[in-house]
Amino acid sequence: MSDLRDVHAFLFDVFGTVVDWHGSVTRELEDTAKIHGIEGNWGEFAKTWRRGYLENTRKVAQGGGGPLSVDVMHRKILDDMLRSGEWKAFGDALNPNARAHLNLAWHRLSGWPDSIEGLCALKKQAIIATLSNGNIRLLMDMAKHADLPWDAVFSSELFGSFKPNPKVYLGAAKHLSLEPHNCAMVAAHIYDLRAAAGVGMRTVYVRRTGEEATDVEVKPKSEGGEVDVVVYSFTELAAFLTNRK
């Protein structure tokens, strides 16, 4: 297991890695639908909404066009979903104010059970910052909502693309005044860590149930795998860093 001794800053993916987007958004959808007496599989609705976001950000990361603000992107996907078909009745029930409020459900996501304790412990040992495709205001609101103690909030918005475009990772390292190998990317998605490793960053994989689209078994280099460290929680990562000394 790598000791990450030269890592001065940990950069965190946020959706799915730090916060439970699926549980939080599903709960908001259920509450909203209940008010209007509309039934549906809201866990599936949340997944479809999220899938639209993943497709759109991937397109921009590869050089294609599209909104750079995730707030704008989330709203467009929501409006498209509500226009016709399965969710039309829900769409008819939601006026513009209700849609604007629902769209900000992505600002009100809750952390995983270990997130706050783990981040507070890590913050004593290194710089901790977001490196998310979410826009800055979204990440700030979420930090206030979920008590996340970031030293800085970095968003792909600052660098004119989305992860996994290399310029997002390099931009964060530059503003930290660090070489990439002095930074570690922390994520529950292997595509994110592959891109970080591609520019020379160290990698920490966090296993979060349901976050990988397909069944992947990610292993540390010490076991023949491709990432530096694999953990089940941020508290485990903090304990690992304490023990390296």
Residues that bind its own copies (CB under 8 A): 69, 71, 127, 129, 135-137, 140, 143-144, 151-153, 155, 157-158, 175-178
Going by C-alpha positions, the residue among 136, 32, 156 that lies closest to residue 93 is: 32
Pick 93 or 158: Cβ nearer its own copies = 158
Asked if 164 contacts 142 with a C-beta cutoff of 8 angstroms, the reply is no
CB of 147 to its own copies, least distance (A): 11
Instruction: Strands of the chain (E only): list them.
Output: 9-12, 127-132, 152-155, 183-187, 202-206, 229-231
- b/e sequence 48-76, b meaning 16+ C-beta within 10 Å: ebbebbeebbbebbeeeeeebebbebbbe
CB of 9 to its own copies, least distance (A): 9
CB of 122 to its own copies, least distance (A): 12
Pick 152 or 199: Cβ nearer its own copies = 152
Pick 129 or 230: Cβ nearer its own copies = 129
* Distant-in-sequence, close-in-space partners of 33: CB < 8 Å, separation ≥ 6: 39, 40, 42, 90
Pick 10 or 45: Cβ nearer its own copies = 10
Pick 84 or 177: Cβ nearer its own copies = 177
CB of 127 to its own copies, least distance (A): 6
CB of 177 to its own copies, least distance (A): 4
Pick 107 or 163: Cβ nearer its own copies = 107
Going by C-alpha positions, the residue among 135, 191, 141 that lies closest to residue 166 is: 191
- b/e sequence 167-198, b meaning 16+ C-beta within 10 Å: ebbebbbeebebebebbbbbbbbbebbebbbe
CB of 133 to its own copies, least distance (A): 15
* Coil, helix or strand at residue 152: strand
